[in-house]
Amino acid sequence: MDKKVLIDCRDVSLGYEGQALWEHLSFQVKSGDYLCIVGENGSGKSTLLRSLLGLMRPMAGTIEMDRRLRAGAIGYLPQQTRAQRDFPATVTEVVLSGFLSSKGLKFFYTPAEKSQALMHMGKMGILELKDRCYRELSGGQQQRVLLSRALCAAGELLILDEPVTGLDPAAAQDLYRTLHYLNSKEGLAIVMVTHDMQNALRYGTSILHAGHRQWFFGTAEEYLLSPYGKRFGGDRS
C-alpha cells in the first residue's frame, strides 16, 4: 500500500536576498516517515524548517503540502528561548494553547479539546503536573509539555528543531524513546533538525544532509555509504 505524501519538495531553492542556501532540493515526506535533517551550522536547516512551516517562500521550485497540513495541522516544537522557559502559565494552559492556531476567533476551549489535551499529557507522562507552573519544571519536563502542546496541533506531522538541546543525557534519551513511540506505534510522521548523528541514524528512516548548496537525501543506510556519512563516522548501534 502506497503511503500518503505529506510534503513534496520539488527542485526548490531557498535562501535570503538572492543568496541560496539550498539549490535544486527535492525530497518527500510520507505518512509514518522519520526524517532527520543534519549538517553544519549555517547550512540552511532552520531556513528549510521555516519554509516547511509556510513562513518563507522558495526562491524557486515548489513545496506542496497535504491539504490538512495546509490548514495548519502541523505540530511544531521550536527551540526554546530563556523567556519561554520562564513563561508564567500552568502546564494545562501551555498544552491547550496548541489548539489556538485552529480556533480562529473562538476564544474558549471545547470539552473535546480539554479532553484531548489531558490525553496527550497522559501519553507524555506529565498528567500529574497539569496544575504546576510551567517555569518551575525541569528541562525534560518542559519539553514533554511542549510536545503535548505540539500534539494538540498535529494531524499527521510533527516538526522539531533541535528538541534535545539543553537536556541532560537521560532526559534526551527519554525524549527520543517517546518520539520513536509516536512514530512507530501511532504512525506520526516526524521531521527533526538535529546535531545528534548517532540518534538520527538510530531512529531516522531517512536523512537529509544540508551542506552549503550541496545536499544528500536517502535512507540511513544509504547515508552511511555516502561521503557525508563516512565523514561523520555515524553508526546505528
Other C-beta atoms within 10 Å of 75: how many? 24
Angle subtended at Cα 29 by Cα 26 and Cα 35, rounded to the nearest 5 degrees: 95
Residue 113 has pLDDT above 70, yes or no: yes
Residue 37 has pLDDT above 70, yes or no: yes
Angle subtended at Cα 116 by Cα 73 and Cα 145, rounded to the nearest 5 degrees: 80
- Amino acid identity of residue 208, one-letter, is L
Q: State the maximum Cα–Cα separation within the chain, in Å, rounded to a whole number.
A: 53
Taking residues 13-37, report their average pLDDT. 91
Task: Specify the range with the lowest mean pLDDT, choosing from 80-94, 151-165, 191-205.
Answer: 80-94
Residue 142 has pLDDT above 60, yes or no: yes
Higher per-residue confidence, 104 vs 206: 206
- To the nearest 10 degrees (0 to 180), the angle between helices 139-153 and 169-184 is 20
Question: What does the pLDDT read at residue 106?
Answer: 59
Residue 114 has pLDDT above 50, yes or no: yes
Q: pLDDT category, 189, cuts 50, 70, 90?
A: very high
**How does pLDDT run across 40-88, given as a tens digit for each residue?**
888 889 899 999 988 889 999 999 988 878 666 788 998 876 656 777 8
Q: pLDDT category, 153, cuts 50, 70, 90?
A: confident
> What pTM was computed for the model?
0.87
Distance CA 189, CA 103 (A): 23
First to last CA, the chain: 30
Secondary structure of the chain as H, E, C letters: CCCCEEEEEEEEEEEECCEEEEEEEEEEEECCCEEEEEECCCCCHHHHHHHHCCCCCCCEEEEEECHHHHCCCEEEECCCCHHHHCCCCEHHHHHHHHHHHHCCCCCCCCHHHHHHHHHHHHHCCCHHHCCCEHHHCCHHHHHHHHHHHHHHHCCCEEEEECCCCCCCHHHHHHHHHHHHHHHHCCCCEEEEECCCHHHHHHHCCEEEEEECCEEEEEEHHHHHHCHHHHHHCCCCC
Question: What does the pLDDT read at residue 59?
Answer: 93
15-29, 93-107, 117-131: which is most confident: 117-131
Question: What does the pLDDT read at residue 3?
Answer: 85
Pairing assessment for the beta strands 5-16 and 60-65 based on DSSP bridges: antiparallel
